[in-house]
Amino acid sequence: MDEDNVGAAAELLRGAERVVALTGAGISAESGVPTFRGQDGLWKTYRAQELATPEAFRADPTLVWEWYEWRRGRVAAVEPNPGHRILARWAAVFRSFTLITQNVDGLHARAGSVDVLELHGNIWKLRCTAEGTVVEDRRHPLPKLPPHCSSCGALLRPHIVWFGESLDGPTITRAFAASQASNVMLVIGTSAVVHPAASLPFTAAGSGARVIEINPEPTPLTATAHLSLRGQAGLILPAIDERLGTLRQA
Ligand code: BJW
């Protein structure tokens, strides 16, 4: 691990009052949840346009649901890792700490984070395609595929933002406002290619925030980030946390 960069990240965080963390699939990789892109990513085996679009769901709801059932099973079988847990703890360390995630796995909440801005929805929630009502349903496997709304009988869909769909207005508005107001923004485990989430760190940097990227690989954000820490989030976040503790005591 690059100890100098860990120290530099802790120094930036020590003086920060308003901190934002944006996470992507990489933070859950060490828990055993597959990422989307890259060597072992989901999109290597499955084609996004056949599964993660409203058109795919309209064409074959059972196929799409089978894929989500498989993913619900994987997520149910894993635990949050030290990266999730440090971010949950940091809510009490900084005057203002906003956690924004692109992940739908709910692992941040299971690690103890509250008020997480889930930009792309949640795999444990189902939405009625007719009424738009959202219900939480943690059963796995679901008794019947595809599931239907108990009130009107219409198809239920995963409460997830697919390609070409709009993000929840209040959630993305809060995410941009927090990014714009931040002193430091951590960008952890995202390939930084899916918008509008990928625009958040650029908004933060443009408003004067220091941007710290944590990722084993370079991304389109790397050139703009003030610090890039190469490696696994589950190792780097605890290392920063330890250094931060030492600095705060000094
Ligand atoms: C580790 C690690 C370890 C590994 N530690 N790190 C502007 C420009 C161009 C296009 C658009 C634009 N605005 C909108 C668009 C269209 C589109 C888009 O962005 N397309 C681009 C791909 C080109 N966006 C949308 O359609 C969005 N809707 C929208 O904007 O509506 C209005 C509109 C529509 C159309 C045109 C214009 C406006 C909706 C986006 C919804 C994204 N949904 C998905 C799928 C959900 C389905 C599901 O989960 O089942 O969300 S896509 C998928 O990608 C998923 C993720 O949340 C998202 C981001 O992926 P993430 O998290 O970055 O994961 P990976 O796998 O890409 O990267 C993992 C990273 O971790 C890697 O970098 C690894 O190196 C790293 N890593 N181990 C730390 N241990």
54-89: pLDDT as tens digits? 999 999 999 999 999 999 999 999 999 999 999 999
For residue 48, what pLDDT is reported? Answer: 73
Which atom of ligand 1 is the closest one to the Cα of 102? 57
In three-state secondary structure terms, 18 is strand
> Which residue has its alpha carbon closest to ligand 1 atom 8?
195
Q: Is the pLDDT of residue 130 over 70?
A: yes
Q: What is the rounded average pLDDT of the residues 173-179?
A: 98
Taking only Cα atoms into account, the Rg of the chain, rounded to an integer number of angstroms, comes to 19
Contact 180, 207 (CB under 8 A): yes
Q: Which atom of ligand 1 is nearest to the CA of 37?
A: 66
Residue 151 has pLDDT above 80, yes or no: yes
**If you measure from the C-alpha of residue 162 to the centroid of ligand 1, how many angstroms do you get, rounded to a whole number?**
10
- pLDDT for res 39: 79
The DSSP 8-state label assigned to residue 52 in this structure reads S
Per-residue pLDDT averaged across 207-227, rounded? 98
Identify the pLDDT of residue 212: 98
Q: From ligand 1's centre to the CA of 44, what distance in Å?
A: 15
Is residue 84 annotated as part of the catalytic site, yes or no? Answer: no
Query: SS3 of 126, please?
Result: strand
Average pLDDT over residues 158-187: 97
Beta strand residue intervals within the chain, DSSP E? 18-23, 96-101, 117-118, 121-128, 134-136, 156-160, 184-188, 210-214, 227-229
Mutating to test ligand 1, I would choose from 1, 23, 28, 36 the residue with most ligand atoms within 8 A of its C-beta, which is: 36
Mean pLDDT over residues 12-38, rounded?
A: 96
pLDDT of residue 32: 97
Q: Burial level of 97, CB count in 10 A (0-12/13-18/19+)?
A: buried
pLDDT at position 165 over 90: yes
Which of these, 151, 109, 105, lies nearest to 130 by C-alpha position?
Answer: 151
Residue 154 has pLDDT above 80, yes or no: yes
pLDDT single digits (tens) 177-215: 999 999 999 999 999 999 999 999 999 999 999 999 999
Measured in Å, residue 196 CA sits from the centre of ligand 1 at: 9
Residue 238: cis peptide before it, omega within 30 degrees of 0? no
Domains of the chain: 3-32+80-120+167-249 (3.40.50.1220), 38-77+126-160 (3.30.1600.10)
Atom of ligand 1 at shortest range from CA of 119: 57
Catalytic residue among 120, 140, 195, 226: 120
pTM, full prediction: 0.97
Pocket test for ligand 1, best of 160, 163, 200 (most atoms within 8 A of CB): 163
pLDDT band at 250 (very low <50, low <70, confident <90, very high): low
Instruction: Report the pLDDT value the prediction gives residue 142, as an integer from 0 to 100.
Output: 95
